[in-house]
Amino acid sequence: MAEQEMPKDFFEFMQKMWNPMGFPIPGMIAPTMNVEDLDKKIAELRAVETWLTMNTGFVQMTVKTLEMQRAGLESLQAAGKAAADSMKKTPD
């Protein structure tokens, strides 16, 4: 049988498994022991979290706006159809 080729560097393999996009995550395999580095990483991740939260809010607002537009168009179409139907029923 053909034997599966194992990566030469196990830590590289694990990083690819945990981080398929390839972004460096230094604390993933070997934890960082420098407090300043940890504080910097925490601050960076909080900034990313804030940005993602803000963008989630924008997406939710956009969805709600589109739903309102849809409801408005549906009601206008229904009103137009009702008016057209009433015009057909009135005798001349």
**What is the per-residue pLDDT across 27-66, written as a single tens digit (0 to 9) for each?**
555 666 788 988 999 999 999 999 999 999 999 999 999 9
Q: Is residue 9 part of a domain?
A: no
> Which amino acid, 36?
E
| Total domains, the chain | 1
Phi and psi angles of residue 4, each rounded to the nearest 5 degrees, phi first = -70, 140
41 sits in which H/E element = helix 35-89
Q: Is residue 10 part of a domain?
A: no
Give the span between the Cα atoms of 92 and 90, in whole angstroms: 6
Q: Is residue 6 part of a domain?
A: no
Q: Is residue 26 part of a domain?
A: no
**Domain enclosing residue 67, as ranges:** 32-92
Q: Tell me, what's the pLDDT at 1?
A: 46
Q: Is residue 40 part of a domain?
A: yes
User: What is the share, in percent, of the chain residues with pLDDT greater than 90?
Assistant: 48
| CB contact at 8 A, 61 and 55 | no
pTM given for the model: 0.51
pLDDT over threshold 70, residue 82 = yes
